[in-house]
Structure 1
Amino acid sequence: MAVDPSEQQLAEFLAADADADDVDSPVVMLNLLRFAEGGRELYRQYSAAFSRTFAPRYGVEVLYAGNGDTPLVAETGQAWDAVLLVRYPSRRAFRQLVADPEYRQITHLRSRALTEAVLQPTVPWGSR
């Protein structure tokens, strides 16, 4: 299962900004996370380092972080362990973050913490 975006996925993500009227518009990323055994602690370590160093550096804001609960409407296997909404000032800021050599030093924590993830960019209704 996928955990980290590929170079092709990042390129497609950035290309969406090129089609927008405002190339520096904010994007809110929906994160759906499924943890490996012991992954919650690894993800806490990743989150602490991210919040301390990279969120302020790139203007990133965690809007919501919570544990998944029993789904009301979902197919078998569609329940998630955690949900986050993370606001990036722009797609470009996201790309700069994932290219940052210092950030890459902590990504192993996130990768090892998860067995599966969905990173779904969202934009406000009416903006596209």
Structure 2
Amino acid sequence: MVTINQTALADFLSAKDDSPIVMLNLLRFDPDGGRQRHHEYLEMAAPILARFGAKILFRGDGLPVLTDGDVKMWDAVLLVQYPSRAAFMAMVEDPEYQVAFQVGKSALVDIVLQPLKQTEIFG
């Protein structure tokens, strides 16, 4: 089920940081046509993402997990870059995106959204 933690979202959006962010999307599809509906969502969302300066950096299908422990296999991963937190929120609130989001939401049985901030690599 796709639900957003409103407290985590508010904390994320309240940060005084206008640097680009990358949103990691770990996706598990509904076995009854979820993968196809996700492709429909991506087609609907692509021009909306572009309008807000966002772009898909990577999309890939999950392969078997190589680590032990309490791990889940994910069907697909998306990395989407947004120019800022404000751009992400503006897109999410956009009425056209809300229509696409309903299609995307119907495709999934589980999702993890993890915002990422680039750090410098030393070494």
Q: Is the CA contact 2:22–2:117 (under 8 Å) kept in the aligned structure 1? A: yes
1:107 to 96, 101, 108: 101
Q: Is 2:18 the counterpart of 1:24?
A: yes
Between the aligned partners of 1:41 and 1:77, the Cα distance in structure 2 is: 25
TM-score, with length taken from structure 2: 0.88
Tell me, in whole angstroms, the C-alpha distance in 2 between the residues paired with 1:74 and 1:88: 32
- CA drift of 1:74 comes to 4.3
Question: Which ranges in structure 1 are unaligned for 5 or more consecutive residues?
Answer: none
Q: Which sections of structure 2, spanning at least 5 residues, go unmatched?
A: none
Structure 1 residue 6, shift from structure 2 partner:
4.0
CA drift of 1:85 comes to 0.8
Q: Give the aligned residue type for 1:72.
A: L
Structure 1 distance, partners of 2:6, 2:99, is 18
Q: Distance in 2 between matches of 1:59 and 1:50?
A: 12
Match of residue 95, structure 1, among 71, 89, 105:
89
> What is the root-mean-square deviation in Å for CA atoms of aligned residues?
1.5
Q: What SS class does the counterpart of residue 70 from structure 1 fall into?
A: coil
Q: One-letter code of the match for 1:28? A: V
Counterparts of 1:73 and 1:82 in 2: how far apart (Å)?
Answer: 17
Three-state SS of the structure 2 residue aligned to 1:106 is: helix
In the alignment, the residues of structure 2 paired with residue 115 and residue 9 of structure 1 have an alpha-carbon distance, to the nearest angstrom, of: 21
Q: Find the aligned partners of 1:107 and 1:9 in 2 and give their Cα distance.
A: 19
User: 1: CA distance between counterparts of 2:63 and 2:83?
Assistant: 29
1:13 counterpart residue number:
12
Q: Distance in 2 between matches of 1:108 and 1:80?
A: 20
Give yes or no for the alignment of 1:46 onto 2:34: no
Q: Aligned in 2, Cα 1:58/1:70: closer, same or farther, shift over 3 Å?
A: same
CA distance change for structure 1 residues 74 and 89 in 2, over 3 Å: closer, same or farther?
Answer: farther
TM-score when normalising by structure 1: 0.85
**Percent identity between the two aligned chains:** 43
Does the alignment pair 1:75 with 2:69? yes
